[in-house]
């Protein structure tokens, strides 16, 4: 998957489900400040990652977003206030 495809998929998810993107690319410094995961997909050397926050922020909506993202080939992690969607670069 290319970064352009990933960006397009995130845009489609936001439009379909009424989401805002609250986090995208992070530097190693910023990732450490926010207590991000080691080798976070928010850091482009490890992949592509975005946090999507639906306007209607309930469990059912987050599950719908995660299901649609997985059908697009992304992995997901449902958090308290957002859905993390990502694509990990192998290697």
Domain ranges of the chain: 3-73
Q: How far is CA 75 from CA 29, 33, 68, 72, 83, in A?
A: 24, 24, 10, 9, 10
What band does 91 get if pLDDT is binned at 50, 70 and 90? low
Gyration radius from the chain CA atoms: 12
Length of the chain: 91
Interval 13-42: pLDDT, tens:
999 999 999 988 888 888 888 888 888 887
* DSSP codes, 19-60: EEEEE----HHHHHHTTPPTT-TTSTTTEEEEEEEESS-SHH
- pTM equals 0.87
Interval 52-77: pLDDT, tens:
999 999 999 999 999 999 999 999 99
Contacts of 91 (CB under 8 A, 6+ apart): none
Per-residue pLDDT, 41 = 83
Comparing 45 with 67, which gets the higher pLDDT? 67
């Amino acid at each position: 998957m290319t970064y352009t495809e990933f960006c397009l998929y995130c845009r489609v998810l936001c439009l379909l489900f009424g989401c805002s993107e609250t986090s995208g690319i992070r530097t190693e410094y910023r990732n450490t400040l926010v207590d991000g995961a080691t080798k976070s997909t928010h850091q482009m050397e490890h992949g592509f990652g975005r946090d999507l926050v639906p306007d209607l922020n309930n469990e059912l909506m987050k599950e719908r977003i995660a299901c649609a993202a997985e059908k697009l080939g992304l992995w997901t992690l449902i958090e308290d206030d957002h859905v993390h969607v990502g694509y990990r670069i192998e290697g």
